[in-house]
Structure 1
């Protein structure tokens, strides 16, 4: 399956990354046990602690306090000591069982948890793991952290069969699993108490970037020195995922023309939707049990507010992820006419920052269908109300499954541009299935 998408060499790299991640998953309990002495916070405490480390007072101000003076404290790479994965391992609790106010925020109408809310928390928690990894020995006591942490992308999130409740405690755990010069990969685990035992809900991979105090340039981070053989395997897995991301980016259908198999598929789509009468070649025909892609989307325009901000008065990436997931879920529900289950999240990218006073247009397109599954591509555009300009800032890819395959009509592209979206969605869907198997 993967070989037809990327070629034999690239396929081997992807499968090796999958195998290494499976090995690393088994070693999670080792790191967790070794770092058991680390203090566990609630997510509310995590957020307050991060503000404290940044030297930021709670409360909104239209013009944040200048952090220019902190540029003088930015460390050089050679000054930063190596860290182990145990150093960054930490956990936090969302105390749903004892907090009815939180329950109202996290629960949906069926009593299950809102995954969009959890994505927000996971994004924030990934940044917290980065804080635990960072150690600046030359930073004077009392000086705030002269760095900023931003989300670059979310690599992959898979979901277990645990039906997460909106009224039971949820635990987030994680650690930095790989570092570059200024980037950090963080693995985050989400678990919920089920019959007095924590059960896995999901595992997520975040790629975070370190920026200087004014968020105008990259900043170096501590390297990782594996503490044992287990950490060496996890580190190798992170390095392979970096190569995998480079392969997928280089082979993107938005950069390179479709391969021979995909061109054949495009021609088959053309034949299925074109009249055979030569006098009606400009007429498109929708096959039975199919829907045009142009009729298969949902859109909303969202004003952002200070509650959605990060430390630089930019829109928090977790809020964008929640908004994109919820409109994508709605698009899948309305398309299938039945309640869908979220299977995968992959290839979430943040290309440009979003100002806190922006209007955000979120559009979720059904771009591919297979059996009982629906592949959604959501796009976030920032709108300028004065000029009418529109700039794409983020893209999100979700896979949902419907209870019954009969309820999932086949989506059909009508234009060449839609056909590229179709090919892109097909690639993501097939890659997710191959990596999971």
Structure 2
């Protein structure tokens, strides 16, 4: 059910026949218009600062000066900061009132990465194993795009991210509900990297929280060429007061059938997310079918699980796939709230998961999906970030290429030794060739992780099947 609904809303970005695509095109058209609010807003100038057409200069010049994600997330532009380095505050008598109503297109933002025009920018995004842009770097950018769209929705027109403190409010990324690759990101036939556009807009808003849809697509070279959607995702944002508690935000005004459909899908997905959490294996025992599956697994493969038994070449225990990393968190990676930037954490977790996936499959892998990241606790500056990655599921029977990798993020206080789990990342990868071995749990806790990863992988397959994508 959830997969079909996610598929339905994704088609809003991809199908020419979709009514919601009409809405998206209308938003896109408004965004590119010289009279649009996006080009005239100071916040928008931050969002589009990597667009050479709007900047009037080379992308590489800007790229060398500052990182896009840090620029937007921390709003560190000198024009928005005082001599003490702190964000400038708007005098109370000059504060514009917060908007009480907003429409979808009021929140639209986009970031163009024109690799064909700038070799320095292209070099900063390319990975070490291929000529494709690093997905972890793009995830970092997506967090910034989602944050920019959310701030555009919440703040008055003309107010920058750095000036949000004057209103006593801030936005946090509460969760990344899903990211799904609809079309693999590959090189063009001539070996070049396609120009990419990251875009996002608010699709649902409640009293103090909102959801932002993000999209990665190619930039057409000619007016006749169609844009290809590569990936879509959904971020959950929460608005809070500096004094504590929830900050009320503008009401999302729906006009027309297209917008009604979009908002309804957002509500449905929100309800499905609640149902999934209620059925989570963290709080609920496995179903009867899952319990039988585990029973058959451990009883049917007793020779593998016996003490001192040797593992066949096509089996690897979950614990033996583990890969760990440690990173000391510095102020350069902080957001406007003086905590470690969420997009930066996503990149580190993805790159650790990618390395784990390559070691397990013993081949090149590509990213398929990300399933629900909840940022439960903030990561403090000066703490030690520990990432514990392992392959948590791969099919036992048949020929398959896809498998699941989970990454647990925890922080440790260097002086007290206190350890806190901040969140868990769930990734699905696909190998370039069929897997030669499969992963098995050895303990009950590993078995629960194995079942949870199986659920997530199957849900992702249902989503991709709904788009007539090839099952991997």
TM range (shorter): 0.7 to 0.9
For residue 184 of structure 2, what is the aligned residue in structure 1?
A: 161
Runs of 4+ in 1 over 6 A off after TM superposition: 44-47, 52-55, 58-61
Q: Aligned pair in 2 of structure 1 residues 49, 347: CA closer, same or farther (>3 Å)?
A: closer
**TM-score with structure 1 length normalisation?**
0.85
Q: What number of residue pairs does the alignment pair up? A: 413
**Which ranges in structure 2 are unaligned for 5 or more consecutive residues?**
51-66, 466-472
Contact residue 108 and residue 200 of structure 2 kept, 8 A? yes
Equivalent of residue 29 in structure 1, options 18, 25, 37: 25
Contact residue 150 and residue 212 of structure 2 kept, 8 A? yes
What is the CA–CA distance in structure 2 between the aligned matches of 1:211 and 1:263, rounded to whole Å?
42
Contact residue 315 and residue 354 of structure 1 kept, 8 A? yes
What is the CA–CA distance in structure 2 between the aligned matches of 1:29 and 1:237, rounded to whole Å?
18
Equivalent of residue 177 in structure 1, options 183, 203, 206: 203
Q: Note if 1:346 corresponds to 2:375.
A: no
SS in 2 for 1:22: helix
What is the CA–CA distance in structure 2 between the aligned matches of 1:288 and 1:101, rounded to whole Å?
44
For residue 106 of structure 1, what is the aligned residue in structure 2?
A: 125
Q: 1:191 Cα shift?
A: 1.9
Q: Aligned pair in 2 of structure 1 residues 226, 304: CA closer, same or farther (>3 Å)?
A: same
What is the CA–CA distance in structure 1 between the aligned matches of 2:242 and 2:389, rounded to whole Å?
35
Q: 1:17 Cα shift?
A: 5.1
For residue 332 of structure 1, what is the aligned residue in structure 2?
A: 357
CA deviations on 1:13-50 (whole Å, 9 max, x unpaired) are 66445435534654232432354433271346896577
Q: Aligned pair in 2 of structure 1 residues 42, 54: CA closer, same or farther (>3 Å)?
A: closer
Contact residue 305 and residue 357 of structure 1 kept, 8 A? yes
What is the CA–CA distance in structure 2 between the aligned matches of 1:367 and 1:390, rounded to whole Å?
23
What is the CA–CA distance in structure 2 between the aligned matches of 1:418 and 1:249, rounded to whole Å?
19
SS in 1 for 2:146: helix
SS in 2 for 1:320: helix
For residue 201 of structure 1, what is the aligned residue in structure 2?
A: 230
Q: Note if 1:186 corresponds to 2:212.
A: yes
Equivalent of residue 81 in structure 2, options 47, 53, 57: 57
Q: Aligned pair in 2 of structure 1 residues 48, 112: CA closer, same or farther (>3 Å)?
A: closer
Contact residue 338 and residue 403 of structure 1 kept, 8 A? yes
After TM superposition, the structure 1 stretch with the greater mean CA deviation from structure 2, 101-110 or 314-323, is 101-110
SS in 1 for 2:219: strand
For residue 249 of structure 1, what is the aligned residue in structure 2?
A: 277
Equivalent of residue 130 in structure 1, options 145, 150, 155: 150
Q: Aligned pair in 2 of structure 1 residues 386, 377: CA closer, same or farther (>3 Å)?
A: same
**TM-score with structure 2 length normalisation?**
0.79
After TM superposition, the structure 1 stretch with the greater mean CA deviation from structure 2, 197-206 or 36-45, is 36-45
For residue 345 of structure 2, what is the aligned residue in structure 1?
A: 320
SS in 2 for 1:127: helix
Contact residue 174 and residue 189 of structure 1 kept, 8 A? yes
Q: 1:118 Cα shift?
A: 0.6
Contact residue 274 and residue 285 of structure 1 kept, 8 A? no
CA-based RMSD: 3.3
Q: 1:332 Cα shift?
A: 0.3
What is the CA–CA distance in structure 2 between the aligned matches of 1:360 and 1:306, rounded to whole Å?
14
Map 1:206-285 → 2, pairs under 5 A? 206-213=235-242, 216-275=244-303
